[in-house]
Amino acid sequence: MTLLAKNLTNGERELIAFRIGDQEFCVNVMSVREIRGWAPATPMPHAPQYVLGVINLRGAVLPIIDLSARLGMKPAEPTVRHVIIVTQVRNRVVGLLVEAVSDILTIKDEDIQPTPDMTSEFERTFARGILAIEGRMICLIELEAVFPHIESEAA
């Protein structure tokens, strides 16, 4: 909740919304470096199930996360229509596999509603708020929580 409070102090901002299954999620556009098509990843030994492997992003080795699996939903079956959202948190760059980018939203901070008081793991770990846009519900994702192992590496 501290992060929400901090973000709310800024006025307007832009979010990128994307689809996984029948749900919509979004992340701050400032964290997104690029969006690219799906390419087969090299699997990593002993990686968690949600880590699909690594790809070559202009010479950097980029881990790809199946966001669906990461959020505790059904693991994705990547096709050429899937996209990778290349995001950056601090110095780390990670690709998130999603089904499609659906929208770019400009919202005000007051448009973000706190997540309902639920106690599930998912809510507490990944969700930072909910947006109601034209009758759709879009969940604002906390990127840092999605990144693998970032806690231990942060120092």
Partner 1 sequence: MDMNEIKEIFFQECEEQLAELESGLLRLNDGDRDPETVNAVFRAVHSIKGGAGAFGLDDLVSFAHVFETTLDCVRSNKLEPNQDVLKVMLKSADVLADLTNVARDGGSVDQARSAQLIRELEALAKGEAPPAAAPVAAAPKAAPVAAAPAPVVSDDGFVPVAFSFDDFGDDDVSADLPAYDVVFKPKSELYTKGNEATLLLRDLSRLGEMSIHCNMDSLPPLDQMDPEAAYFSWKVSIKTDKGEDAVRSVFEFAEWDCDLEVAALESGDVAEATGDDLPMQPVPFDLSALDDELDAPLGVVEEEEQIAAVQEAVAAAEAASNVVQMAASASRGAASDKGAAAAAAQNNAQQASAAAPTIRVDLDRVDRLINLVGELVINQAMLSQSVIENDSNGVSSINMGLEELQQLTREIQDSVMAIRAQPVKPVFQRMARTVREIADITGKSVRLVTEGENTEVDKTVIDKLAEPLTHMIRNAVDHGLEMPEKRIAAGKNAEGTVKLTAKHRSGRIVIELSDDGAGINREKVRQKAIDNDLIAADANLSDEEIDNLIFHAGFSTADKVSDLSGRGVGMDVVKRSIQALGGRINISSKPGHGSVFTMSLPLTLAVLDGMVVTVAGQTLVVPLTAIVETLQPDAAAIHSFGATQRLISIRNSFCPLVDVGRILNFRATQANPVEGVALLVESEGGGQRALMVDAIQGQRQVVIKSLEANYTHVPGIAAATILGDGRVALILDVDAVVSASRGQSLHTETSLAAAG
Q: Which residues bind partner 1 (CB under 8 A)?
A: 40-47, 51, 53-56, 58-63, 91-94, 148-149, 152-153
Q: CB-wise, 15 or 69, nearer to partner 1?
A: 69
CB of 146 to partner 1, least distance (A): 14
DSSP for the chain reads -HHHHHHTTS-EEEEEEEEETTEEEEEEGGGEEEEEE--PPBP-TT--TTEEEEEEETTEEEEEEEHHHHTTSPPP---TT-EEEEEEETTEEEEEEESEEEEEEEEEGGGEEPPPS---HHHHHHEEEEEEETTEEEEEE-HHHHSTTHHHH--
- Whole-angstrom Cα distance, residue 60 to residue 135? 40
Q: CB-wise, 54 or 145, nearer to partner 1?
A: 54
Q: CB-wise, 19 or 92, nearer to partner 1?
A: 92
CB of 74 to partner 1, least distance (A): 22
Q: CB-wise, 21 or 40, nearer to partner 1?
A: 40
CB of 34 to partner 1, least distance (A): 14
Q: CB-wise, 69 or 138, nearer to partner 1?
A: 69
CB of 132 to partner 1, least distance (A): 34
Is residue 144 a contact partner of residue 154, using CB atoms and an 8 Å limit?
Answer: no
CB of 150 to partner 1, least distance (A): 9
